[in-house]
A and B are shown apart, each in its own frame.
Chain A
Amino acid sequence: MVTAVARKPASGTLAEVIDIILDKGLVIDAYVRVSLVGIELLTVDARVVVASVDTYLHFAEAANRLDLRGQSEEHDADLQSLMSGQARDKTRGAIEGGVDKIRDVFSRDESEEAQKDE
């Protein structure tokens, strides 16, 4: 399979090189005369990706819409073996107990939300 690398000149993709142009290169300390107010916002915005519930929900959505052909049987088998093995595994039981607690909290929130919506 031939895979093309996307090759671009710098002037055609300012967004790709803006952090280099503003952050790298030589400086004459006494003569930096550019307002950095807007730039800081811009670069901070682009660089920091915070792991948030939004991010997680986005990935979950991506996972849900995927068509995992040929994998469903395997996973059904996994699920069965997991369920039958549950009692053996105390550690897992403890973790799932904790998860149940969280689930309670969440579902309480959800039902409250639902009541508010009505």
Chain B
Amino acid sequence: MGMLVHGIVDAESVPALSQAALGVAADRSVRWVVSGELAGLVSDCPDGEVLPSRANLLAHTRVLEAVAQTMTVLPMRFGVVVPDDAALERDYLVARHDELRRSLDRLRGLVEFRLRISYVEDEVVRAVLEDDRTAARLRGRSSVQAQVQLGQHISAGIDARREQDAQAALDALAGHAADVSVTRPLGGLDVLVASFLVVSDRHSAFDVAVDELAERLSPLATVELVGPLPPFSFAGEER
């Protein structure tokens, strides 16, 4: 027997939590463990171990998403299982009280947005060819060696562009966010994958800046924005 821990909220916020809404979101029974000023959101997991199945990952995400709509929540990484209420209270809510308190205060009213910018393959290849005459000359050659050379030119051209475009995107958006966390570059057609900590206002300056950025990048690259998420990338004390 054990309990999967979803997140930590201010105990004052607990009355605003609707068991019905959470249960529907998670497709399981979600409850909370209150300790002083803090409360932990948990759901039971009978075998004491959680498999990273699609259903389990979605349930965790949905609980946090539902909660984050009405209050500040410190999200747990998926897979933290405590044996019982007493253990959660003793080993975390009490033991780490000050740290959790500070994080909740720091993140009040802030949510995470996950931004992904990706090149449109044909468009970026075309752009590289326009700048790289050697590459343009290599087009249509039949030998494998010429094709590998051509591919190397395209790849190098995309890498060079990525650095510039990623930096320009960060420069355009960072000023509208309280914090930024850049994910290790993925290569390929990805330009930038980054999380932004922003005020949870749908029509914030950040939102407008993302729209403007997407317009500037079109048709070379597409912009995808996932969120609002609870501040996963910013919840840790070390930040």
- The answer to whether A and B interact is yes
Q: Is the pair B154, A63 in contact by a Cβ cutoff of 8 Å? A: yes
- Convert B95-128 into 0s and 1s, putting 1 for each residue whose CB lies closer than 8 angstroms to a CB of A: 0000000000000000010101000011001100
Tell me whether B54 is interfacial, beta carbon within 8 Å: yes
Tell me whether B81 is interfacial, beta carbon within 8 Å: yes
A3-B215, A11-B65, A107-B143 given as contacts; is B80 within 8 A of A22 (CB)? no
Chain A contact residue count (CB 8 A cutoff): 63
Q: Kindly state the separation between the CA atoms of A24 and B77 in the bound complex, as whole angstroms.
A: 6
A35-B51, A49-B188 given as contacts; is B154 within 8 A of A20 (CB)? no
Q: Is the pair A60, B81 in contact by a Cβ cutoff of 8 Å? A: no
Tell me whether B28 is interfacial, beta carbon within 8 Å: no
Whole-angstrom distance from the CB of B134 to the nearest CB of chain A?
A: 9
Q: Kindly state the separation between the CA atoms of A47 and B188 in the bound complex, as whole angstroms.
A: 10
Q: Is the pair B225, A5 in contact by a Cβ cutoff of 8 Å? A: yes
Chain B contact residue count (CB 8 A cutoff): 80
Q: Which residues of A contact B51 (CB under 8 A)?
A: 34-35
Q: Which residues of A contact B155 (CB under 8 A)?
A: 51, 55-56, 59
Q: Is the pair A57, B148 in contact by a Cβ cutoff of 8 Å? A: yes
Q: Which residues of B contact A23 (CB under 8 A)?
A: 77
Q: Is the pair A28, B232 in contact by a Cβ cutoff of 8 Å? A: no
- A42: nearest residue on chain B (CB-CB)? B52
A33 touches which of B79, B145, B223 (Cβ 8 Å):
B79
Q: Is the pair A33, B2 in contact by a Cβ cutoff of 8 Å? A: yes
Tell me whether B17 is interfacial, beta carbon within 8 Å: no
A39-B52, A59-B154 given as contacts; is B226 within 8 A of A31 (CB)? no
Whole-angstrom distance from the CB of A46 to the nearest CB of chain B?
A: 8
Whole-angstrom distance from the CB of B186 to the nearest CB of chain A?
A: 6
Q: Is the pair A28, B137 in contact by a Cβ cutoff of 8 Å? A: no
Q: Which residues of A contact B150 (CB under 8 A)?
A: 56, 59-60, 63-64
Tell me whether B20 is interfacial, beta carbon within 8 Å: no
Q: Is the pair B225, A6 in contact by a Cβ cutoff of 8 Å? A: yes
Tell me whether A94 is interfacial, beta carbon within 8 Å: no
Q: Kindly state the separation between the CA atoms of A11 and B76 in the bound complex, as whole angstroms.
A: 16
For window 39-82 of chain B, which residues contact chain A by CB distance below 8 Å?
48-52, 54, 57-58, 60-62, 65, 74-82
Tell me whether B13 is interfacial, beta carbon within 8 Å: no
B224 touches which of A6, A51, A71, A110 (Cβ 8 Å):
A6
Q: Is the pair A78, B154 in contact by a Cβ cutoff of 8 Å? A: no
For window 145-192 of chain B, which residues contact chain A by CB distance below 8 Å?
145, 147-152, 154-155, 158, 183-184, 186-188
Q: Which residues of A contact B122 (CB under 8 A)?
A: 62, 66
Q: List 23 A-B contacts (CB under 8 A).
A: A4-B214, A6-B222, A8-B226, A11-B58, A16-B114, A20-B232, A24-B233, A25-B235, A28-B88, A32-B81, A33-B48, A33-B49, A33-B81, A35-B49, A35-B51, A48-B187, A49-B186, A55-B188, A62-B125, A64-B140, A66-B139, A78-B133, A106-B143
Question: 3 nearest interchain CB pairs?
Answer: A56-B151, A34-B79, A49-B187
Known: A14-B61, A78-B136. 12 other contacts (CB 8 A): A16-B114, A16-B224, A17-B229, A25-B235, A26-B77, A28-B88, A31-B5, A33-B49, A49-B188, A55-B155, A56-B155, A107-B143
